[in-house]
Every structure is written in C-alpha cells, then in structure tokens.
Amino acid sequence: MLVVVKIGSSSVTTPRGEVNETAIAKLCSEVAEQMGNGVQVVVVTSGAIAAGIDAAGIDFGSAGRSEENRPTDLPTLQAIASVGQPKLMRVYGQWLARYGLVLGQVLLTPLDFQDRRQYLHARRTVARLLALGVVPIVNENDVTADDEIRFGDNDRLAALVAHMVGADLLVILTDTAGVFTADPRIGENASLIEEVTEIDHQLEQAAGGAGSAVGSGGMVSKLAAAKIACWSGIRVVIADAKKTGVLAGAVAGESGVGTIIYPKDRRLSSRKLWLAFAVAPAGSVTIDAGAMGALVGRGTSLLPAGVNTVEGDFEIGDVVEVLGPQGSVVAKGVVRHSSKQLVELAGRKSSDLSDDISRETIHRDDMVILE
C-alpha cells in the first residue's frame, strides 16, 4: 500500500512560527509504524514560510503576529522560505533517524506537473526513493515558485503527488477533526461528516473559508484536493493531526478517524487530470445548450458553432475552461483556435469554415468533462 500524508502549517508550527517538534515527532513515529507494516509513505509538508518567519528575525511590533500583518510581498516570502525550509527538514531528519529512517527532500513547482518530461522525471525520482526505503518529504519550492506561493497551500500539491505516484490513500492532516456540517468554530450544532461519496456544492459551502493565521489554506482547499484525488481513484481521509494513531486509523479505514471521502468509479488518465487540475486556464469560452448537451451527453468535440462568447487572450495549444449557459465550468481542454480567431468563428457552422481552419475548437481527445 502506498500512502501520501499531507500536514499543514498550523499543525507543524506554533502560532509564533517555531517548528512544533512534538507534532513532527508524532507524525514521524506514525510514519515509521506504517513503514514497519510494509506501507510506503510519502509526506507532503507545509511550514517552510511559517517556520522561517521568526528565524529570519522579522519583527511584528506591538501588533503581534496575525494573519493581517504577516508578510505578503513575494521577495520577503521567498527569503523567509529559504530560511525556514532547512530548519523544517532538520527537525524531520532528526526524528526519522530515531527510527532508522532517512528522508529525501523533494521540492516541486507547478511546472513539474505541467511539463510532461519533468513530470515523468519527478515520478521516477520519488519511486526510486521509495524503492530505497527513503521517506520522500515533499514541499512546494517556495523560494523560486511564484505561482505556488500565490496559490498558498500544499493541499492541491499533495493530491497531484498522490496521483503521480499511484497512491492508494491520501491523508490530509489538519487542525480539525475533519469536514463538518457547518464551521465548528462558530456553529454550536456543527457535526462531523464521517463519510462522503460525492463532493457537491452544498458540502463545499459548509466547508467555509480560510483556516488559521499560520496556514493559508482551509477546508475548501482540502475538498478541492480531495476532488483531484477522487478523480484519480484514490481514497481520501481528512483528519486531526493531533489524534492518536490517526495515520493507522486512516490506513485501516476506521470509522470516526476523520472524514473519509470515497473515490469515483471513473478514473481520469494522467493527461485528463493534468487538463482538469494541474494547469491554469488561459481563458474561457461559453457554449450554448445544444453544445453542452453534445459534450456532456455524447462526448463530442466542441465546434465553433456551439460557442457563444470568448474571454481572455489565448493562443492555439492553450488550455481554456468551457462554461455552460449558466456560467458553470463543464469542461477544460486544449484549444485549436486562438481567442482572436474564435471571436470571428463563434456560431459559424463547420461547412462555412475554410479548409485551413480546424473544424474543432476543442477535440474530444484534448478535453476533460467536469460536469
């Protein structure tokens, strides 16, 4: 069995930004236990920026540390990350060594998932680390990856890593017991949802907004990550990092360990998953009801005749979102027309197009349906 475990900033650092050795020691102990049982484990950790804030000597003044006065400019965040990353890895290394384990640091950026060659290289590297009995400790490369810092959390990264390595289980450890029917911080009647078979709009609304001041994600981002994993055929458990034996319980599928989210029967290929989640759209096209029915119901290609409006500035080969008549995202795909071309071609029948223009705006082989 192969498990990816993601732990957030609020769990591995204190509110002051110091590395929480107790939390990391607990996680390393549970990782060692599972590896002793023959389970392969990849850890995706946040905390480099949070751990580096105090170490870099940043003075918050009389206002104290809070989400509002946390540094936000990119150069400062990158500088802090460069200080915090080795500090974080040193603690992981020390605690894993107590169990005779060695860590292998893996720093990834969005480009590692967008470029096919880099994706395959990263996958081979992590696979080799696992084969050697090393514990891969993955983090986003905050020092150089502008987009990843702006994305703000490692939840999506963990889900993409889980797909990349062919994991059986993704465990997202956070500072709450799982997904609740309402925000437990403000709702007295909020109750834990122990099992989820479908992540729908109602569940996403119940998840609320961002999390703690230390972290930068929240339950919404964890559900978004769970969606990626579910489309990859991977079971997900969202649970409290402080819960005793949480990793063993998640591996065993114990009831009440947290929120268990079951995978979809339909598994997306690596290419389809890349289209759906790993690459940001360069623009969007809105289609009419007839085109939507053809795409979703019959799996056809998108033709210019079904396009109503075009948004953004994109070129041939870019990825765009396909919006339905009501504005919801129904698909993503690689376009065969530029935005300038498509503005002129929108609504025109294939028979009206010249021979040197593609008959499909997005071919069905280059499109993933999300509706």
Q: What is the CATH number of the domain that holds 357?
A: 2.30.130.10
- Confidence (pLDDT) at 70: 65
Confidence of residue 189 (pLDDT cuts 50, 70, 90): confident
- For residues 296 and 239, state if they share a domain: no
Residue 112 has pLDDT above 90, yes or no: no
Nearest to 214 by CA among 11, 2, 4: 11
Is residue 275 domain-resident? Answer: no
Return the number of other C-beta atoms located less than 10 Å from residue 292's C-beta. 22
Structural domain count of the chain? 2
Q: Give the domain extent around 324.
A: 281-369
Residue 32 has pLDDT above 90, yes or no: yes
Residue 57 has pLDDT above 70, yes or no: no
Q: By mean pLDDT, which of 146-150, 171-175, 179-183, 347-351 is the weakest?
A: 146-150
CA–CA gap between residue 124 and residue 126 (Å, rounded): 6
Return the number of other C-beta atoms located less than 10 Å from residue 349's C-beta. 9
- Confidence (pLDDT) at 341: 92
CATH number of the domain bearing residue 220: 3.40.1160.10
- For residues 166 and 297, state if they share a domain: no
By residue count, the chain amounts to 371
- For residues 176 and 300, state if they share a domain: no
17-26 pLDDT, tens digit per residue, is 678 999 999 9
Residue 55 has pLDDT above 70, yes or no: no
- Confidence (pLDDT) at 125: 96
151 versus 324: which is more confidently predicted?
324
| Chain mean pLDDT for the chain | 85
User: What percent of the chain lies above the pLDDT cut of 90?
Assistant: 49
- Amino acid identity for residue 73 in this structure: D
Q: By mean pLDDT, which of 39-43, 57-61, 71-75, 149-153 is the weakest?
A: 149-153
- For residues 243 and 285, state if they share a domain: no
Confidence of residue 264 (pLDDT cuts 50, 70, 90): confident
- For residues 342 and 295, state if they share a domain: yes
Residue range 212-222: mean pLDDT, rounded? 60
Is residue 274 domain-resident? Answer: no
Q: What are phi and psi of 126, to 5 degrees?
A: -65, -40
- Confidence (pLDDT) at 213: 41
Rounded to the nearest 5 percent, the helix, strand and coil shares of the chain are 40, 20, 40
- The domain boundary residue, chosen from 226, 242, 268: 268
Contact partners, residue 180, CB within 8 Å, separation at least 6:
187, 190, 191, 192, 193, 206
Nearest to 180 by CA among 195, 197, 192, 198: 192
- For residues 113 and 217, state if they share a domain: yes
Confidence of residue 181 (pLDDT cuts 50, 70, 90): confident
Contact partners, residue 167, CB within 8 Å, separation at least 6:
2, 3, 4, 42, 161, 234
Identify the residue whose tokens are 């082989």. Answer: 365
**DSSP code of residue 316:** T
**153 with 30: CB under 8 angstroms?**
no
- Confidence (pLDDT) at 187: 60
